[in-house]
């Protein structure tokens, strides 16, 4: 029973990422029908229903009997953060980027370590796919911001630590407020490709120490080059 609840929470996290990170669903959109969506996610309909109930409790989804399940207006960023993130009102100075990057250096390698140990096969596969998506966008000189966020968010989710899930997005939100780092961010493409794929490789191998060290190197590249990969 506990395993079913954990799986339902995992699926709820994935659906939330489809809404907030991948932008697949927007306010007012109807989710795919139960049969199709459960097949896509490789889960039972009961697990999907439980995941939808979790998100409905946060006000992110609304079930209309006879019509389907719809994304609510809570997906608007500030409203959503208030609903699911009790740390969202934390006040931090937007210019304290060294301290913010140091915080990421502390948290994200640990998250990669836990993801290698705790992540499901589906979660690890998704991280690898997102790593390749970031690479594709860099090669094509496209905006990779959302794909980058999704890559890091997927690792956080695979760590299965609720406090990490709540704290890391705060750092991303604050970092994103300063556009002066954008040019440096774009120039960091090649090292980002190498770093992301190395992290993903260690996760695929289920090597927590390798994943942790690869993420630490990735974070240190950000400090050295004074840019933020988010």
**Residues 35 and 137 occupy one common structural domain:** no
Task: Report how far residue 60's alpha carbon sits from residue 162's, in angstroms, rounded to the nearest whole number.
Answer: 18
Task: Report how far residue 56's alpha carbon sits from residue 35's, in angstroms, rounded to the nearest whole number.
Answer: 19
Task: Report how far residue 182's alpha carbon sits from residue 188's, in angstroms, rounded to the nearest whole number.
Answer: 10
pLDDT tens profile 38-67: 999 888 999 999 999 989 888 899 999 889
Tokens of 90: 């934390």
pLDDT tens profile 94-114: 455 667 778 888 899 999 999
**Residues 46 and 23 occupy one common structural domain:** yes
Mean pLDDT, the chain, as a whole number?
79
Tokens of 115: 């993801």
**Residues 115 and 214 occupy one common structural domain:** yes
**Residues 99 and 176 occupy one common structural domain:** yes
Domain hosting residue 66, numbered range: 2-80
pLDDT tens profile 177-197: 544 444 444 455 678 888 999
**Which CATH number do you get for residue 132?**
1.20.120.530
**Residues 115 and 196 occupy one common structural domain:** yes
Mean pLDDT calculated for residue range 133-143: 88
pLDDT of residue 175: 56
Task: Report how far residue 109's alpha carbon sits from residue 33's, in angstroms, rounded to the nearest whole number.
Answer: 37
pLDDT of residue 179: 41
pTM for the structure as a whole: 0.59
Residue finishing a domain among 56, 80, 104:
80
Query: Does the residue 230 lie in any domain?
Result: no
- Strands (E) in 12-149, as ranges, are 61-64, 68-71
pLDDT of residue 219: 85
């Amino acid at each position: 029973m506990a395993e079913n609840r954990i799986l339902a929470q995992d699926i709820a996290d994935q659906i939330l990422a489809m809404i907030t990170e991948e932008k697949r669903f927007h306010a007012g959109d109807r989710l795919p029908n139960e049969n199709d969506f459960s097949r896509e996610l490789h889960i039972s309909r009961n697990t999907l229903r439980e995941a939808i109930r979790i998100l409905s409790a946060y006000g992110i989804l609304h079930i209309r009997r006879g019509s389907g399940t719809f994304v609510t207006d809570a997906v608007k960023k500030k409203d959503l953060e208030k609903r699911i993130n009790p740390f969202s009102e934390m006040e931090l100075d937007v210019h304290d980027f060294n301290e913010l990057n140091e915080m990421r250096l502390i948290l994200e390698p640990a998250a990669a370590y836990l993801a290698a140990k705790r992540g499901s096969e589906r979660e690890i596969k998704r991280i690898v796919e997102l790593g390749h998506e970031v690479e594709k966008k860099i090669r094509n000189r496209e905006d990779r911001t959302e794909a980058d966020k999704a890559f890091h968010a997927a690792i956080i989710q695979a760590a299965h630590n609720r406090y990490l899930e709540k704290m890391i997005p705060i750092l991303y939100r604050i970092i994103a407020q300063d556009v002066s780092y954008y040019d440096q961010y774009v120039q960091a493409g090649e090292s980002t490709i190498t770093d992301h794929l190395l992290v993903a490789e260690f996760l695929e191998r289920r090597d927590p120490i390798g994943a942790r060290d690869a993420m630490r190197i990735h974070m240190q590249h950000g400090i050295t080059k004074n840019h933020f990969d988010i």
